[in-house]
Amino acid sequence: MRANNVRSIIADGRCAVNAWLSTDSPYTAEAISHCGFDSVTVDAQHGMFGRDALVRMLQAIAAGPATPMARPSTLDPAELGWLLDAGAYGIVAPGIDTAEAAEHLVAACTYPPRGRRSFGPSRGLLYGGPDYLDQADRTVTLWAMIESAQALGNLEQIAAVPGLYGLYIGPNDLALDLGERPGGRIGDTVARHCATIRDAAHRNGLAVGVFCADGDEAARWRFEGFDLVTPGNDLSMIRAEAQKRIASVRGVVGAAAPATGSGY
């Protein structure tokens, strides 16, 4: 089976850099895959596209060197299995607030006897290789998103669930649930929780990832010992670069693009 680049990078002690797609463009997906990102996540929860577009985007990512991943809209086993069948090599699952939810995620994404995933790998077999059935459970990465006060209270139990690969922080929903304003860079309160989540993940042999507002924030968390960082999504990168170029044309020296919430 084709190797999972993210697993290899993190096993080597390096930090994987993950792209995040929220817009419906296979062309953009293909270009992003060739930019140097280690993985590219297609967002089926908040992305502005439907199921058919998602397949085309996974195909486009697979045309480049980055590892294709996906965030599902729900923990529905049918959707989780379908995303894996479509060729996702990683699942970043939202709303994992309890150990039971984490167990549900693992069961839906792994084949018997460990789990209950239905056989029908489709593009997974095409992209992954003829031994997909034998190797998928050891190759695909399952990330549990920590994005609520309830999840923080159940952190150790979630991190102890067998079959998880990592914990992934959704800082904006976490901020919102803690009574803070989401969007922009990670505030002090959420940052303290990020460190706690990192430590819990590593204590339980898991990787830890985080969604960031931009490259500077992603660099901060890389140096804080995170294993995977996402420096914003495609739309935020386009907007920031567009505003930077407009400022250059208009002679606004040193102007910074205004902070914009990413929705994640």
Express each pLDDT in 214-234 by its tens digit: 999 999 999 999 999 999 999
**What pLDDT score was predicted for residue 256?**
53
Phi–psi pair at 128, nearest 5 degrees: -80, -40
Residue 89 confidence (pLDDT) above 90? yes
What is the rounded distance in angstroms from the CA atom of residue 98 to the CA atom of residue 102? 7
Q: What percent of the chain has pLDDT over 90?
A: 92
Residues 65-98 as b/e (b if ≥16 CB within 10 A, e otherwise) read ebbbbbbbeebebebbbbbbbbbbbbbbbbbbbb
Residues 209-225 as b/e (b if ≥16 CB within 10 A, e otherwise) read bbbbbbeebbebbbeee
Residue 258 confidence (pLDDT) above 90? no
Respond yes or no: is residue 46 known to be catalytic.
yes
**What pLDDT score was predicted for residue 253?**
63
30, 61 Cβ separation under 8 angstroms:
yes
What is the rounded distance in angstroms from the CA atom of residue 139 to the CA atom of residue 129? 12
Is the pTM here over 0.85, yes or no?
Answer: yes
Over the chain, what is the mean pLDDT?
95
Q: How confident is the model at residue 184 (pLDDT cuts 50, 70, 90)?
A: confident
What is the residue whose two structure tokens read 């792994």? 110
CA geometry: angle at 146 spanning 43 and 203, to 5°?
125
Among the options 46, 104, 193, 202, which is catalytic?
46
